[in-house]
């Protein structure tokens, strides 16, 4: 019995996708719920599982084809095993080439016309030496045994190799096919590009910077890491501190947690924090819902789970939607400083960067401290520079004195 493999519902407002990759080919055996094909949308990638065990009977769409919700991607012959492949005809055994008769040597006939000693003649004929290259040192120019042996033992001269002439530099645009490769932009990358352009063209984006001393957080992690891991089953990282610090700053400056809707400003009294993570097909921003209600351990588990599932394209569309504020960490890739772009319709995004030991002044002394540069990009239509700077200072204070997070001060 043939069972149809259909394009499932893809989420609100998403009606089409692109076939990214088939994990099986026609005739292959499959088990029930085994991922068969990857569909790429402009927001998320989806694995379509096999509706039944059997063998793939037909494939209706190839990789790169556009499909719509409800389209039949192919069929599975339920209960069947993998179809047998056609027997391959063994390649014929190679036929040995008939030996080619060696061309008769002209050494003997040439040597007969040249004066040489009997011993030298024997050496010339047996080794097929070129008599034209021999110079006789005997009486009357006769070729001696020593002359023949000298020619025999002389290493062959390698022909002089001319260095290839350097290719002339292009005088104009290169031909399109010259060392170029053209590939289709994935729907996810295309959507990211559209949203970034939208953010740049619709919002008045400005970025303010500050630096934060990470020493207190690093000492706290070092002191309690083993007990934290033993109790909660997850390591204490930096992201949970920054999420909690961002929530405290958002409570103090609610316009950074708001959005502009026409002529209205929508203030949000909940804190759904988007955390940018790197997936297999690009950057995605899953959302930590109600981050203000979660413990440090719960935040670490949630962010770790999102990162793992992003790399294997297991995030759901619902997990990528919404969000009131975003945090991105370019430091994991070594970034020292950046100007992150707002994720519309949000009005702010916090950028973390790498931690570097730098000389700083403390109480009149120059000391070496672990410093991170922070960046806040914000929509200047709603947020003034004063509020943006104070927001970032609030984050800085919470990180440099983590007890503020506990006391909420």
Q: Which active-site residues does the annotation give?
A: 380, 384
Cβ-Cβ contacts under 8 Å for 276 (sequence gap 6 or more): 283, 284, 285, 326, 327, 328, 329
Of 199, 215, 208, 187, which is closest to residue 392 (Cα–Cα)?
Answer: 208
Token code pair at residue 24: 């099986």
- Burial class for 80, CB neighbours closer than 10 Å (0-12, 13-18, 19+): middle
As a whole number of angstroms, the distance between CA 399 and CA 104 comes to: 92
As a whole number of angstroms, the distance between CA 353 and CA 356 comes to: 9
As a whole number of angstroms, the distance between CA 289 and CA 310 comes to: 17
As a whole number of angstroms, the distance between CA 309 and CA 302 comes to: 11
Instruction: Compute the C-alpha angle 189/195/200, nearest 5°.
Output: 125
Count of alpha carbons within 13 angstroms of residue 338, beta-carbon side: 19
Q: Where are the alpha helices (DSSP H) in 118-235?
A: 118-127, 145-153, 187-202, 215-232
Token code pair at residue 128: 């097929």
* Residue 11 Cα distances to 80, 297, 305, angstroms: 33, 30, 21
């Amino acid at each position: 019995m043939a069972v149809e493999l259909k394009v499932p519902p893809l989420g609100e407002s998403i009606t089409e996708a692109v076939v990214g990759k088939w994990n099986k080919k026609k005739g292959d055996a499959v088990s029930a719920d085994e991922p068969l094909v990857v569909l790429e949308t402009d927001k998320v990638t989806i694995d379509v599982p096999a509706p039944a065990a059997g063998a793939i009977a037909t494939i209706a769409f190839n990789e790169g084809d556009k499909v719509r919700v409800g389209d039949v991607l192919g069929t599975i012959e339920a209960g069947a095993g993998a179809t047998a492949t056609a027997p391959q005809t063994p390649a014929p055994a190679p036929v040995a080439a008939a030996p080619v008769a060696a061309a008769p040597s002209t050494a003997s006939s040439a040597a007969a016309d040249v004066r040489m000693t009997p011993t030298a003649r024997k050496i010339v004929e047996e080794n097929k030496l070129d008599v034209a290259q021999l110079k006789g040192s005997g009486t009357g120019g006769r070729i001696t045994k020593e002359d023949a042996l000298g020619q025999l033992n002389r290493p062959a001269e390698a022909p002089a190799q001319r260095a290839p002439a350097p290719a002339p530099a292009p005088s104009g645009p290169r031909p399109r096919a010259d060392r170029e490769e053209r590939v289709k932009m994935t729907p996810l990358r295309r959507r990211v590009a559209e949203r970034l352009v939208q953010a740049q063209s619709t919002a008045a984006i400005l970025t303010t910077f500050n630096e934060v001393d990470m020493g207190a957080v690093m000492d706290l992690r070092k002191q309690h890491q083993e007990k934290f891991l033993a109790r909660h089953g997850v390591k204490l990282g930096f992201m949970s501190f920054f999420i909690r610090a961002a929530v405290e700053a958002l409570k103090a400056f609610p316009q950074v947690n708001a959005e502009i809707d026409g002529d209205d400003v929508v203030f949000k009294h909940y804190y759904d924090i988007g955390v940018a993570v790197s997936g297999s097909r690009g950057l995605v921003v899953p959302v930590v819902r109600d981050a203000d209600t979660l413990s440090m351990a719960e935040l670490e588990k949630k962010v770790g789970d999102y990162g793992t599932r992003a790399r294997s394209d297991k995030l759901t569309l619902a997990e990528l939607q919404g969000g009131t504020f975003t945090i991105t960490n370019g430091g994991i890739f070594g970034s020292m400083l950046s100007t992150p772009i707002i994720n519309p319709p949000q009005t702010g995004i916090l950028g973390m960067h790498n931690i570097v030991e730098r000389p700083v002044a403390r109480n009149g002394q120059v000391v070496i401290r672990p410093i991170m540069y922070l960046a806040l990009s914000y929509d200047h239509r709603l947020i003034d520079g004063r509020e943006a700077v104070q927001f970032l200072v609030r984050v800085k204070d919470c990180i440099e004195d983590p007890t503020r997070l506990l006391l909420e001060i």
